Amino acid sequence: MKFFYPSIVVFLFLLSIFDLIVGLINDAVNFLNSAIGSKVASRKTIMFFASLGILLGAFLSSGMMEVARKGVFDPSYFYFSDTIFIFLAVMISDIILLDIFNTLGLPTSTTVSMVFCLLGGAFSIAMIKMTSPLNNEPFHHLTLYIKAEKTFIISIGIFLSIVISFISGAFIHYFIRYFFSFEYEKRLKDVGVIWASISLSCMTYFLLVRGLHSTINEDNHIGFSLFIQHFIKWIHHNFFVFLILLFSTWAIIAKILVSLGYNILKFIVLYGTFSLAMAFAGNDLVNFIGIPIAGIQSYHIWKKAGSPPAETFNMKNLSDNVEVPSLFLIFSGMIMIFTLWFSKKTKNITSTEINLSRQNEGPEKFLSNSFSRGIVRFFLYLGNHFFKLLPKRFLVQIEKNFKRNKSKENVAFDLVRASANLTISSILISIATVQKLPLSTTFVTFMVSMGTSLSDRAWDRESAVYRVSGVLKVIRGWFLTGLIAFTMAGVTASFLYFFREWALSSLIFLILFVFYKSYKNYHKTQKKEENKPFIGIVTLTLENTLNTTFDILQPILEYIENIYKNSIEGITKENLKTLQDSRNNFLLVEKNFTRIMHNSLIQVIRKTKNNEKPISGILYLHIYNKTREIIESSDIITNHTLFHVINSHKPLKYQQKKNLIILEHLMIEHFKIIKQITIDKNCNKIQLSYPIQNKIIQKIEEQINQQVMGIIHQKYGTKNTFLMLDLLLQSKKITESIEDIILLYHDIPLSSSKKGAAFLAC
């Protein structure tokens, strides 16, 4: 027991490092996405500006921790043992929760997570104390322990920011895009300078009120802090004068940069990235280290009092101001910068927002659902009726400014939208800071990005249902964050309260296990992503199209052959395990086919070299189509064989099993021919496999005839008949598709123009 509380303090310190890492990974989405999505510069350059912002924000932060110490609960109603258990429960729950969201690639609010963890931990300990036989307090006394009203106001304010941010992003960016259009380069000299002046002025004000505001310490009346106090107060009292000076200064700078031929939008995006990173480190940094510092300060208060019984020592002194040492803040900033540069999970988080807001085509990360489809249909109906009220000439004029630039398909969105994302987010956060309104920077930046993508018509009829579904999933995760954080922290705090040393040991092993599993699962997923073939070709010629299709087909055909063989073996031997494995393997093949070929089909065809006839694009399309037919036939075979055995239907007759085994051998022989072609990669030496194809089709026809005769003589039942017909007909389709692929490679027009014309006509 002597080392119990010191052990908790050491553990809290170690957990603060982990919390910094998982918190930065999640919050990196706030200041990185606009720069990364628009590819304003290389990733290293973007990281440099973000790192500079984090370091400066950490250096200027005063580290005042209101929420951690007394924002959610009143320390005077808790003992030292209570507060230390609450803080430890909060840290453990917060780290596990944020790591789960990071692994899933879903951004969430670190502020919401921390506040609700504090609320859950304090609530559970308060309920234990109130319901104990010694106290037996009425339920309404809970308001003495928990500052429910303040917590409720914080929660409402945070979640209201979701709606406000989305509407603001969509509305403001609509006018920005109207004045810029997608051909914004032509308008940088006039519209660009005005927009740069507005944008940079807003972000500079944001930088001052959100970034430098955190340096103010009311008890410090000397040095830099005093200067900042007077400066911020002067800005508030002379707001319009300051804004005019700021606008004029940036207008001159923007005009000079544009006249020198520099794209001013790039400067806006990099400056905005720096500003958001600095404000993040100046304010949100305390979210991650505030709890462990409060725990350490609680321990010092207890030790200073002579280490009285921890279960009876009141923690009212924790309400006093506690300042984090500057060295600790800078050290924390360095950890966050290190994480920013070397953690691959930051890419996982940023990819979600970029995928949902991108302008170009590509695979959708989320599936549609009935709710998202209903929302899209409702707004399509509303939009159609609304636009009928407007003059056609007016609509045509607007449409000219919203015509997309197809030449920039390698970026998720352009610099205009990137600058709008940063500017609108800065404005909203600045207003909330001045008005002392609670909000989540993650919610604001994410929803502004979704609103601007809606204005840019990135959510067209091709992608709207998937994007809406994705946004709803992210928002649902935000609401679940509060509920899960409250529950996890409450259970953990109760566990610590009752089991103490044993609970501490168990929780240490739990958090190590969670991190190990998370690391292992994430790297397994990353390994699969890295091993996927394709497709970084700038232009597709016939030669590299052939090599690409060979590389894609070889593993797919290898798997399909094994799946077919196992399905026949499983149905003839009624081996449920073999059929289940066969079905699971097929689902993996189908997923890879969708990811590799289906989702990239249009982009691949567009990469066909312009100075050739589109032979390579047509070849890829035909190979895709035939491969899809093989996949679809394999789907029916694996599904129906498993369905037959899993429902304990009557087994196949002896002659049917014998026929299927013969057919299997012929099919395997056919698979070997096409596999060898993909290995050799030599179209000139391809020999057509008509003999083996004819044998397979002849055998299938014989077996169909036998099946018909068996039905006539009432030898085969309904389930038996449909199963055999599925196996035979799908085997025939696979055979024909394989032969069509071989024929495609055989007839490749490498030199003959007549062959080329025939191939194009096929």
d(Cα 83, Cα 80) in Å, to the nearest integer? 5
Express each pLDDT in 131-181 by its tens digit.
887 777 888 788 888 887 777 777 788 788 889 999 999 999 999 988 888
Split at pLDDT 50, 70, 90, the class of 485 is very high
Most confident of 377-386, 566-575, 604-613: 566-575
3-state secondary structure of 64: strand
Instruction: Name the phi and psi angles at 607, rounded to 5.
Output: -85, 5
pLDDT at 762: 46
pLDDT digits (tens, 9 = 90+) for 252-276: 999 999 988 888 999 999 999 988 8
Distance CA 535, CA 652 (A): 45
Per-residue confidence band for 746, with pLDDT thresholds at 50, 70 and 90: confident
pLDDT at residue 283, as a whole number: 64
Of the candidates 351, 602, 367, which has an alpha carbon nearest to the alpha carbon of residue 465?
A: 367
Tens-digit pLDDT profile for residues 211-248 = 555 555 555 444 556 676 777 778 778 888 888 998 99
Identify the pLDDT of residue 66: 53
**pTM, to two decimals:** 0.77
Candidates 15, 14, 45; CA nearest to 32 is 45
Per-residue pLDDT at 32: 85
Structure tokens at 507: 């929780």
C-alpha 620: how far from chain center: 30
Structural domains of the chain sorted by starting position, each given as residue range(s) with its CATH number in brackets:
4-522 (no CATH), 542-761 (1.20.58.220)
Among 739, 646, 664, 668, smallest CA distance to 703 is for 664
* Predicted pLDDT at 380: 84
Q: Which residues of 320-354 are buried (b: 16+ CB within 10 A; e: fewer)?
A: eebebeeebbeebbebbbebbeebebbbbbbbbbb
CB 621 within 8 A of CB 601: yes
Of the candidates 69, 74, 58, the one whose C-alpha atom is nearest the C-alpha of residue 291 is: 69
Other CB atoms within 10 Å distance of the CB of residue 128:
15
Of the chain, the percentage scoring pLDDT greater than 70 comes to 85
| Greater model confidence, 223 or 604 | 604
Give the relative orientation of helices 148-180 and 415-434 as an angle to the nearest 10 degrees: 150
Average pLDDT (539-565) is 82
Average model confidence (pLDDT) across the chain: 82
Residue 407: per-residue pLDDT: 54
Confirm if 247 and 24 have CB atoms less than 8 A apart.
no
Task: Say whether pLDDT at 570 is over 90.
Answer: yes
Q: What pLDDT score was predicted for residue 761?
A: 45
629 vs 716: which has the higher pLDDT: 629
pLDDT(210) > 90:
no
pLDDT at residue 464 in the model: 85
Which pLDDT score is estimated for 612?
52
Q: Which of 689, 739, 760, 762 is nearest to 542 (CA)?
A: 760
Nearest to 141 by CA among 156, 154, 130, 132: 130
| Cβ–Cβ < 8 Å for 451, 168 | yes
Question: What local confidence, expressed as pLDDT, does residue 230 receive?
Answer: 75
The beta-carbon contacts of 456-463 under 8 Å, at least 24 apart in sequence, are 456/173, 456/177, 456/359, 456/402, 456/413, 456/417, 457/402, 457/404, 458/357, 458/358, 458/359, 458/413, 461/376, 461/380, 462/361, 463/361, 463/364
Q: pLDDT category, 522, cuts 50, 70, 90?
A: low
Map residue 344 onto helix, strand or coil.
Answer: coil
CB 24 within 8 A of CB 270: no
Q: Quick: pLDDT tens for 423-448.
A: 998 888 877 776 666 677 888 888 99
**Average pLDDT over every residue of 182-198:** 88
Predicted confidence (pLDDT) at residue 533 exceeds the cutoff of 70: no
Statement: residue 63 has pLDDT above 70: no
CA triple 19-349-212, angle to 5 deg: 60
Measured between alpha carbons, how far is 400 from 539 in angstroms, rounded to an integer?
30
Q: Which residue has the higher pLDDT, 460 or 587?
A: 587
Residues recorded for the chain: 762
